[in-house]
Amino acid sequence: MNGNTDTGRTMLAAKIVAPRQVEIAEVALPQPGPLEVRVRVTGCGVCGSNLALWRGRPWFHYPSEPGAPGHEGWGRIDALGAGVEDVRPGERVAYLSERAYAEYDIARADSLVRLPSGTEIFPGEALGCAMNIFRRCDIQPRQTVALVGVGFVGALLVQLAVRRGAGVIAISRRPFALQFARRWGAVETIALGDRPSAIARVMERTHGLGCDRVIEAAGEQEALDLAGELVAVRGRLVIAGYHQDSRQVNMQLWNWRGIDVINAHERDPRRYVAGMQAAADRVSKRELDPEPLYTHGFSLEQIAGAFAALDERPDGFLKAWVEPSQREKASVPG
């Protein structure tokens, strides 16, 4: 499977051509360069961070590159570029890229993480993101942790914090997400919306002290405002939400309480890969259970539906993904 035999072959890839408009285009099959592999994409998670591009912002250019902004891809290695030695075609991997809404994608060999056995769905970048956020939270047993926003990453963080031995307070607008949080061991769940009453509940629960750790995982001004109010003196506010727009913060409050503020998104690819590997290890050991969170699957052709689900968050929605190689399932076992 080298480049020569592929000349002239094409594949299907999604392209966002304008806000809320996506097309499936036939484009050239990409070729792996040195130290790269080509992956036949089994699936790609649909990330909350895609929403700004989908809805439209003045600073984006359309159309997007074919396959963009899919960055939570996984699949089977299909071809190796020069100098790649540690992996074989056919292996199932998650990887880092920006163009995974396509039948095939190119990944650097040093971004590959082998999928845990028995795992069908593995949006590596998103799972790695949760692990990296968790690490930067530095949660200790018996600490009180508030999670503001229980989407996919927030739900994973509930599981991780409970497992670490923290008392978790989950705050979400969506009742079903709070039910999930309860099931995973949250000691308290609070509806997001009425800020004074949410603050009162948390303060009552923490004897007026607030929380040692507060994780904002909604990416909204309202969530950020509430999160800041819930942090104890010398506590830690971890910003896990994806904020594409500028925000205002209550600096006076942050300053007065002397809180640590962490922006927990990693930008170094090596950190991402380390987080993805940590997630794969936890899933293998059954210490992390993302399966119930994969709620909305779509074919590549249905990708507009995936973005719409992300946008509208129907009841029960936590995570969407697309499956570009759905057709492969019938022919390839395991």
Residues near Zn ion, by CB under 5 A: 47, 125-126
Instruction: Give which of 170, 152, 269, 183 is closest to 213, Cα–Cα.
Output: 170
Q: How far is the CB of 137 from Zn ion (least distance, A)?
A: 18
110, 89 in Cβ contact below 8 A?
Answer: no
Which class for 221: exposed (0-12), middle (13-18), buried (19 or more C-beta within 10 A)?
A: middle
DSSP 8-state assignment for residue 111 = G
Q: What residue type is 143 in one-letter code?
A: Q
12, 59 in Cβ contact below 8 A?
Answer: no
User: Residue 131 or 162: which CB sits closer to Zn ion?
Assistant: 131
User: Residue 86 or 268: which CB sits closer to Zn ion?
Assistant: 268
Q: Which residue is nearest to Zn ion (CB)?
A: 47
The pair of structure tokens assigned to 140 is: 């200790």
User: Residue 2 or 263: which CB sits closer to Zn ion?
Assistant: 263
User: Residue 6 or 125: which CB sits closer to Zn ion?
Assistant: 125
User: Residue 94 or 148: which CB sits closer to Zn ion?
Assistant: 94
Q: How far is the CB of 319 from Zn ion (least distance, A)?
A: 10
Q: How far is the CB of 37 from Zn ion (least distance, A)?
A: 21
SS3 assignment, position 11 = strand
Q: How far is the CB of 7 from Zn ion (least distance, A)?
A: 33
C-alpha–C-alpha distance, residues 100 and 321, integer Å: 11
Q: How far is the CB of 120 from Zn ion (least distance, A)?
A: 19
C-alpha–C-alpha distance, residues 234 and 231, integer Å: 8
Q: How far is the CB of 194 from Zn ion (least distance, A)?
A: 30
Strand-pairing partners, residue 80, are 37
User: Residue 47 or 94: which CB sits closer to Zn ion?
Assistant: 47
